[in-house]
Amino acid sequence: MAEPTSFDLNAAGLDDGTLDFYALIQEPVDADAETLRAKISALYNEAQANRDHRNLTKRREYQTLLDLLPRARVVLLEPEKRARYDAYLASAKKGAAEVEFDVFMSDLLGLEETMEEKTGLLGVQDKPQVARARVLKVPEAAPSKAETKVKVPQLRPSVPVAALAAALIGFLLGAGAGWLGLGDAVPALLLGVIGAALGFFIVNRRPRTGIRS
């Protein structure tokens, strides 16, 4: 079994709240960037593997490392930030820091640099949790009026009333035409009966239902 990578959380915290990242990872202030990079990556991988350690004390230590190491990496591996941090750390150890450590770090890291972005720079990354999108059931579109044909009854007078009216009109027209043309009552009545029959027949031939779009 591989030996744990050395680190010291107790030595990392100064009395004024300043974090000494060099003491945290147990490397000298003058260590080169590659040495610091390798040590930070090794510690981060180890912390990832032991974040659920069965020993509660160890678990808390590794979880604290997972929070601190991304900041240590950004601060110590970017030359400009490291130079500013080294100067601040030297002042803090003398008790002459001009601003609080939290204020200094906020200015050094920049508000635009989120901890999620810094974490991705280290060895083993957390697996991103994919948010489950809510699946909304889209209702089916109702058919348009042009696509729907509904059978509706035609509104017309009842058959007996319409038939009687048509027969009466046909009888009057036929009788009148016969009387005027022939001058005899019998042929006129005969034409009236024929006209009534035609009127009755025409009315009954009309469709009772229709299709409306």
Tens digits of per-residue pLDDT, 37-48? 999 999 999 999
User: pTM of the full predicted structure?
Assistant: 0.53
Instruction: Report how far residue 71's alpha carbon sits from residue 44's, in angstroms, rounded to the nearest whole number.
Output: 12
Mean pLDDT score, 167-192: 65
What pLDDT score does 185 carry? 63
Q: Residue 110 — φ and ψ, nearest 5°? A: 85, 140
Instruction: Report how far residue 41's alpha carbon sits from residue 70's, in angstroms, rounded to the nearest whole number.
Output: 10
- The pair of structure tokens assigned to 167 is 């027969």
Show the domains of the chain with their CATH numbers: 9-119 (1.10.287), 150-212 (no CATH)
pLDDT tens readout for residues 93-118: 999 999 999 999 999 988 544 444 44
What pLDDT score does 49 carry? 93
Q: Which residues of 198-212 are buried (b: 16+ CB within 10 A; e: fewer)?
A: bbbeebeeeeeeeee
The residue type found at 140 is: E
Long-range contacts of 6-10 (CB under 8 A, 24+ apart): 7/43, 7/65, 9/61, 9/64, 9/65
pLDDT at 122 over 60: no
- The sign one gets for the Cα dihedral 133, 136, 137, 140 is negative
